[in-house]
Structure 1
């Protein structure tokens, strides 16, 4: 997460949505008193003990809002990137098995194991995206949601809102895998769609994983 007091924005870093690419592009435009919390590649923590103790930068609206207070939170431009849940789950599986190669050898078996036998709900990279982005009433509390499927163009639009020049986003910490649709059969699609049902509903993805761009 990045909180820019200078430019009055909050970037919510949803896991597996290109967050490190966005962080790297934003950092040159941060002022000395701007804040970042991150635990990969760069180690930075917020000066707020309750957030610092979490130990990573994937913080949610419901964690941050009470610390910043309603006035600051409501008056800052809040944005995040989201991703087709089918694609994001493939990326998660590839990332988590990068040492063992289990996904590469038998991808569907590994995916079924995760969904059916050992869903790691405690792992922040696995949890539904919307959980980071909704307020206490369950409403998405962002001023803009960019999409991984349209990442550069959406980042360009965000830069316009926060008043910085856009740059080409670099690819950072990307998982290696084939196009996500090659890994699914009907059963797996159904299992993953049920697991991330609220993401599909709140983030504007249809049953095929296509984004609503209206």
Structure 2
């Protein structure tokens, strides 16, 4: 989550949706304005204490966290935006990311099909190290009653174009997004699925698929 009080925006960062690139582009606006120094000091103190004092929003906090913690008039006045991604494509990205960054988590897992079966096995407790992409993206943008509480939902599939819209809305110059954590050596996501694994992912993310209009085809 990235908050700028001077530029009046709140970015809700869902994992594996291009958010690292968005953060890199907008981080320069984070500590500007009259509250910039207190925010900077709070963030540093939080890091120094191992996040024990809870002085900043976690990187992948949901919008409801900000709505509950910020004054109502402040939250309502912010331009709140998020990026989402096709759930089937997201799982392929997750597989390659974990295999590259934390291969020990996938010990004994050689294929994408094995990864999907492990990640969504109803008989196994959820291993957070298999990353937050098991969570529903919809949960990041709604309140406790299921009401949408963000102002703009961008799509990874149109990342630069939708980011340009964000820049216009928050009043900063358009900029080319840097390529952060870009996966190398992967094919179109559809090629990694069998009918059965596509159904497993589709069932788990049914509410995301319905809310954001995604399809496997």
TM-score by length of 2: 0.80
Partner deviation per Cα, 1:84-126 (whole Å, 9 max, x = no partner): 0101111112222322576994221222222226463755342
| Cα 1:44–1:183 shift into 2, 3 Å | farther
Question: In structure 1, what is the equivalent of residue 195 of structure 2?
Answer: 186
Instruction: Look at both structures and tell me which one has the larger radius of gyration over its CA atoms.
Output: 2
> Is the contact made by 1:94 and 1:104 (CA closer than 8 Å) also made in structure 2?
no
Counterparts of 2:117 and 2:211, CA distance in 1: 25
> Is the contact made by 1:152 and 1:168 (CA closer than 8 Å) also made in structure 2?
yes
Question: In structure 2, what is the equivalent of residue 199 of structure 1?
Answer: 208
Tell me the C-alpha RMSD between the 2 structures: 2.9
1:20 corresponds to 2:28: no
Question: In structure 1, what is the equivalent of residue 4 of structure 2?
Answer: 4
> Is the contact made by 1:8 and 1:76 (CA closer than 8 Å) also made in structure 2?
yes
TM-score by length of 1: 0.82
Question: In structure 2, what is the equivalent of residue 114 of structure 1?
Answer: 119
Counterparts of 2:108 and 2:190, CA distance in 1: 15
> Is the contact made by 2:2 and 2:27 (CA closer than 8 Å) also made in structure 1?
no
> Is the contact made by 2:84 and 2:155 (CA closer than 8 Å) also made in structure 1?
yes
Please, which moves more after superposition, 28-37 or 167-176? Answer: 28-37
> Is the contact made by 2:155 and 2:162 (CA closer than 8 Å) also made in structure 1?
yes
> Is the contact made by 1:97 and 1:103 (CA closer than 8 Å) also made in structure 2?
no
| Cα 1:44–1:153 shift into 2, 3 Å | farther
Structure with greater proportional helix content: 2
> Is the contact made by 2:83 and 2:156 (CA closer than 8 Å) also made in structure 1?
yes
Please, which moves more after superposition, 88-97 or 181-190? Answer: 88-97
Question: In structure 1, what is the equivalent of residue 59 of structure 2?
Answer: 57
Q: How many residues align?
A: 201
The secondary structure found in structure 2 opposite 1:146 is strand
Counterparts of 1:103 and 1:202, CA distance in 2: 35
Question: In structure 2, what is the equivalent of residue 212 of structure 1?
Answer: none
Question: In structure 2, what is the equivalent of residue 162 of structure 1?
Answer: 170
1:128 is displaced (CA, Å) by: 1.2
